[in-house]
Amino acid sequence: SPAVRMIHELLKKGAKVRAYDPVAIRSAKEIFDSKVTLYDKIEPALSGSDAAVIATAWPEFAQWDWSSLGNQMHRPVILDGRNTLAEVPLPENFIYQPVGSHPPP
C-alpha cells in the first residue's frame, strides 16, 4: 500500500505518526508494531496533529465535520493524496493541498 511506504518514510524522517484506518488496524499493528499509534476513530487521531495525510479515497472523509476536526488539530493542514476533499468546502483557516491524481469517487 502507498500509505505503508509513506508512513515508513515519515518515520525515517523523525515524524510522530498517528493513523486512522479501522479496516486495516490489525495488519497495521503487525507492520508498524509500536512505532505508529493506530486509531479506529478519527477524532483522537487528528487531535493535536500538525497535518492530516489522506491516502485513501473513502467517501466518508467528505462527510466529516472538518471545522470541528480542524479545531482539534494543532495546525489544520491536509495533504490529500486522492483528491478526496477537492470539492468539499473547508474552513478558511485550513491549508489544503491536493497532491493526488485521482478524482473524488
pLDDT score for 24 = 86
What the block records as the C-alpha cell of 69 is: 476536526
CA distance 66 to 70: 6
pLDDT tens digit sequence for 23-80: 888 899 899 988 999 999 999 999 999 999 999 888 999 999 999 999 999 999 999 9
What the block records as the C-alpha cell of 87 is: 470539492
Task: Calculate mean pLDDT across residues 86-100.
Answer: 92
pLDDT at 103 over 80: no
Q: What's the predicted TM-score (pTM) here?
A: 0.85
Are the C-beta atoms of residues 62 and 89 closer than 8 Å to each other?
no
Q: HEC string of the chain?
A: CHHHHHHHHHHHCCCCEEEECCCCHHHHHHHHCCCEEEECCHHHHHCCCCCEEECCCCHHHHHCCHHHHHHHCCCCEEEECCCCCCCCCCCCCCEEEECCCCCCC
